[in-house]
Amino acid sequence: MSKSPAAEPRQLPDSALRFVGFLAFFDRYATPPMFVALSLSTALSLSQAVELVAGYSLLYALGQPLWGLLSDRFGRLTVLRWALFGAILGAIASTLFTSYFALLIARSLTGLMFGALYPTLLTLLGDTRVGMAKARGLSDLQIFSSLGTTLATLVAGAIATSLDWRLVFLLPAAGAAAALLSLRQVQEPQREHTTMNFKAAFGRENLLLYAVVFLEGGLLMGFLTYIVPALQSVGMGIWLSGVLGCGFAVGVILGARFMRLLVPRFSRTWLIGIGGVILILSFAPSAVLPSAGSYTVTAFLIGAANAIMHSSMQGWATEVAPQARATTVSFFVFALFFGASVATYLTADLAEQGKFSQIFTIGFWLSILLVAVATWLHAHWYSKRSN
């Protein structure tokens, strides 16, 4: 008896890629808008609430090498399914505790599991798309990830304040369950053969790329964590702070659309430089004149820089060592989130003191260094590859 069409294996649809990207970033950015609510509803101080994000980002980062090795060994969808299952357990565990240490462990383990999602999506795009199709796929992933960030920024603080902070952690658990259910009959996509090739994943070009994205992660993701608390520090309410903080998502969406116009006209080196200049400009207003308006502009321009600069960096990561693509992409994401975790941890005391303009001043100077190094390294790598 032949199988019914509904039972036949199918390829991973674009809609699943977009939803998982949305889900990963919703969970990642749901905690910062409810820092104040967490500190009021639990035994946590504001700095301890910030450290929950640092712990989440740290385990998110440290898990990347493991996920990359497992993905190259057992397949992308195997890793995706197990990570979604672990994310469900971690998110539920996060609702069971109110003490600092227990919540830190629960959120850190949740970060470990959610950490497998986005790099696996990047690897799948690298396996299945090239050229403009890859650029469009990365652009779409940026848009849906930013929508996850947007929704988390808008609703997390309000839900935590008016209902219960535990609901914010349960929503990603429900989403992960839905995503896992949708993958029941999806088969592993065809891809070029890859192995656990440590030599390829730790070549000189790879190590330099990891170092650059470590700094980029601190600036794009670590400092972004402070937008909503900074808005609250100048008198904005929880809901309005969330709305203004969504300037980041607007920046990503518009930047991704603008990116589609730039890709046919500029090399990737130029795109990294253009996005980098936007990143430099993003920190300037909040460093010089801290206010609700300047923090909103910073959020918007960081989003635009993310769409242009970081998507270009992602494309670079999928090409630098194709014979060990999953491992390379995972170490790339490891460096990104490790940088975000370190930046958040090192600046947590400044945030506790309300010195947000000082944080963004540091971001301004470091972004100049990032742009100079990233554009030079990519130009050197591309020239070497072309010869």
Read off the pLDDT of residues 85-121 as tens digits, 9 standing for 90 and up.
999 999 999 888 778 888 888 989 999 999 888 878 8
0.85 cut: is pTM over it? no
φ, ψ of residue 187 in degrees (nearest 5) = -100, 160
Q: What is the pLDDT of residue 387?
A: 67
CA dihedral 286, 145, 316, 10 (to 10 degrees): 180
pLDDT cut 70: percent of the chain above it: 90
Q: What is the pLDDT of residue 11?
A: 60
Q: How far apart (Å, rounded) are the C-alpha atoms in residues 348 and 264? A: 41
| Number of other residues whose CB lies within 10 A of the CB of residue 85 | 14
Q: What is the pLDDT of residue 2?
A: 40
| Number of other residues whose CB lies within 10 A of the CB of residue 19 | 17
Q: What is the pLDDT of residue 12?
A: 64
Q: What is the pLDDT of residue 4?
A: 41
Q: What is the pLDDT of residue 124?
A: 75
Q: What is the pLDDT of residue 6?
A: 43
Domain assignment of residue 5, yes or no: no
Domain assignment of residue 101, yes or no: yes
**pLDDT at residue 332 is higher than 70:** yes
Q: How far apart (Å, rounded) are the C-alpha atoms in residues 342 and 214? A: 9
User: Which residue stretches of the chain are H helix?
Assistant: 14-29, 35-41, 46-62, 64-74, 76-93, 100-114, 117-128, 131-162, 165-182, 198-201, 204-217, 227-233, 238-245, 247-262, 268-288, 292-305, 311-319, 325-352, 356-386
Domain assignment of residue 100, yes or no: yes
Q: How far apart (Å, rounded) are the C-alpha atoms in residues 114 and 142? A: 17
**pLDDT at residue 311 is higher than 60:** yes
Residues in the chain: 387
Domain assignment of residue 259, yes or no: yes
Q: How far apart (Å, rounded) are the C-alpha atoms in residues 105 and 56? A: 9
Domain assignment of residue 6, yes or no: no
| Three-class secondary structure of residue 186 per DSSP | strand
Closest CA to 207 of 85, 349, 332: 332
* Mean pLDDT for all residues in the chain: 82
Tell me the per-residue pLDDT of 146-198, one tens digit each, with 9 for 90 and over.
Answer: 788 778 877 777 787 778 888 888 999 999 999 888 887 777 766 555 555 66
Q: What is the pLDDT of residue 83?
A: 93
Tell me the per-residue pLDDT of 10-65, one tens digit each, with 9 for 90 and over.
Answer: 566 677 778 888 988 888 878 777 777 777 777 777 777 777 877 887 787 778 77
Alpha-carbon distances of 9 from 13, 79, 180, 187, 372, rounded to whole Å: 12, 18, 15, 6, 47
pLDDT cut 90: percent of the chain above it: 23
Structural domain boundaries enclosing 258? 12-188+197-386
**Bridge partner list, 10:** 186
Domain assignment of residue 340, yes or no: yes
**pLDDT at residue 379 is higher than 60:** yes
φ, ψ of residue 95 in degrees (nearest 5) = -90, -5
Number of folded domains in the chain?
1
Domain assignment of residue 27, yes or no: yes
Domain assignment of residue 32, yes or no: yes
Report the CATH number at residue 143. Answer: 1.20.1250.20
Structure-token pair, residue 190:
């065809």
Instruction: Report the pLDDT averaged over residues 349-361.
Output: 87
Instruction: Report the pLDDT averaged over residues 222-228.
Output: 85
